Structure 1
Amino acid sequence: YHPYTRLNPTRDIVLEPYFLKIFKQRWYVTGRNVKEDVIKTYALDRMSEATLLPSVYEVPEDFDAEAYFRDSYGIIFDEGEVKHVAVRTDSRQAKYFRSVPLHASQQEVLHDSYSIFYFKIKITPDFVQELLSYGPKVTVLSPPELRAIMINNLREALAQY
């Protein structure tokens, strides 16, 4: 497995796969990493070799695949607690958010020239990256820690120029 966070591949991962998920045009498999005894998610396109083992396992009865990512934007699930997020958009961007919601918890309050979208979601790096991708079309109103993350990322980006 070739993670983007390391130079060398990770070898000999034994995974008991629980489910597949597609996110941002990539397929991911989530399951129990046997050696670490923890549930992890792996991108299929970063696997260079896979072998089907003869061992048998059972997905735990209390595991709910839909609930697993319910509070997450994408494929990162274990970062912090659910927060109430408010994002203001201009009226044009609001149309895009309406047509393809960012998250199942999305709710909108419509104003004359803008909308405020509310989410109950974990503040994960992929959610932050998504919000940053809209540039000046969105403004995070709350929570304060997400505003601080956005400001810091924007300052770091601007410093590159």
Structure 2
Amino acid sequence: MNLDSDLPKSERLIRLLETLQYAQASPRDLLRRLQLPEHKLRSVQRDLKLLIERGDVERLPDNTYRRVRHGRTRLNPAEALAVYSAARLLFHHAAEYNEHYLSALEKLASDLPEPARTIALRANRSYRERPNRNISRGVELAAQAWLSQRYLRCRYQRPGKRPLDLELAIYFVEIGAQNRAAYAIGVNRAYPGSGIRVYKIGRMRDLTILPDAYTIPEDFDALQYLSGAWGIMTGPPIRVVLEFSANVAERVYEERLGCLVEPPHTLEDGRVRLTLEVGGWLELVPWVLGWGQSVEVKAPQELRAYVADQVRGAAGLYAQELHPAGAV
């Protein structure tokens, strides 16, 4: 929000109240939030004093201010946990500062009971210090293009390949379950016939929302489209069979996996077999490798060979420690 230095005082007071509706902020925080010049600090302090006298704002012991709220919404414990969890997930997803994300975090925190509210407010203050590398601006533009159903033009920076020109009709924006990165799912009209594809928003450059509109097909079901994905990538279904050592059996049963073909099965020797069906196994590899020697890939053979190659490569990095020079 950008305030002109000649903005009438009445308008400035309204903007201050809007900002303090869900946030706690010091006078200098408010300068930053409202993008006011440094010489307006005294004006903000006078405005806050007036709002306190009117009973609209209260000053807290740490010299921050917040709006006095009457008739707070009461959340039961389950509702409070759901809101708190949403705030924490958003905090972890938002790797860099964005004014809109901060506003959402503040609104989520505002109705939480203690001690959850204090933790959320501390996280919000920490979030304000994060850098802004304009990746969040890309997420903002992609969301705006999706919600207004306008084409998004950009250059898509593919690792190790030349950039791809996109004019994207976004059907859905998703947060990756494994890496918490933002993805746009849609059709690139710059390459007719390419079909629905998944694009990582963080790889988009020079984003522009075009004036021409598109319509999302009525039969497009985003959840169905992603139903076979381990993370975000889709493709023909592939059956994956994994067998876990008996010493990790309890941990395996604790996993909540949406791609199970059948419930986990305990073998006679205590090992646990998982049978999954995923739309491509590449995203599954980091999870499999994370189990170390406690898991064996039984199928498909391509995944088994890939994991074996990764394990051999990792062992090579530690060859000196495994076989020190001069050891017998």
CA change 1:154–1:29 in 2 (3 A) is same
Q: What is the SS of the residue equivalent to 2:209? A: coil
Deviations 1:103-146 (A, max 9, x none): 33252013463311111223331112321232212111223332
Tell whether the 8 Å contact from 1:76 to 1:124 is kept in structure 2 after alignment: no
Gaps of 5+ in 2: 1-155, 319-328
2:171 matched residue in structure 1? 18
- Distance in 2, Cα, partners of 1:44 & 1:93: 36
- 1:86 and 1:140 in contact (8 A); partners too: yes
Higher relative contact order (CA 8 A, sep 6+): 1
Let me know the Cα RMSD of the aligned residues: 2.5
Structure whose CA Rg is larger: 2
SS across alignment from 1:14: strand
Displacement after TM superposition at 1:92 (Å): 5.3
Which residue of 1 is the match for residue 159 of structure 2?
4
Q: CA deviation at 1:16?
A: 0.5
Structure 2 letter corresponding to 1:148: A
Q: Distance in 2 between matches of 1:97 and 1:25?
A: 22
* 2:304 maps to which of 122, 135, 147: 147
Is residue 241 of structure 2 the alignment partner of residue 82 of structure 1? no
C-alpha distance in structure 2 between counterparts of 1:84 and 1:12, whole Å: 34
Gaps of 5+ in 1: none
Q: What is the TM-score normalised by the length of structure 2?
A: 0.42
Specify which of 243, 254, 267 is matched with residue 99 of structure 1. 254
Matches of 1:25 and 1:53, distance apart in 2 = 27
Q: Per-residue deviation at 1:31? A: 0.7
- State TM-score, norm by structure 1: 0.79
User: Deviation at 1:11?
Assistant: 6.2
Match for 1:73 among 202, 224, 230?
230
Displacement of 1:101 after TM fit?
A: 2.6
Which structure carries more helix by proportion?
2
Inter-partner Cα distance in structure 2 for 1:18 and 1:103: 22
Equivalent residue letter for 2:243: R
Could you list the runs of 4 or more consecutive aligned residues of structure 1 that deviate by over 6 angstroms after TM superposition? none
- Pair 1:148–1:50, CA change in 2 (3 A): same
Equivalent in the alignment of 2:281:
124
The alignment-based identity, stated in percent, is: 27
Q: Which moved more, 1:64-73 or 1:87-96?
A: 87-96
**Residue 77 to residue 50, structure 1, CA distance change in 2 (3 Å):** same
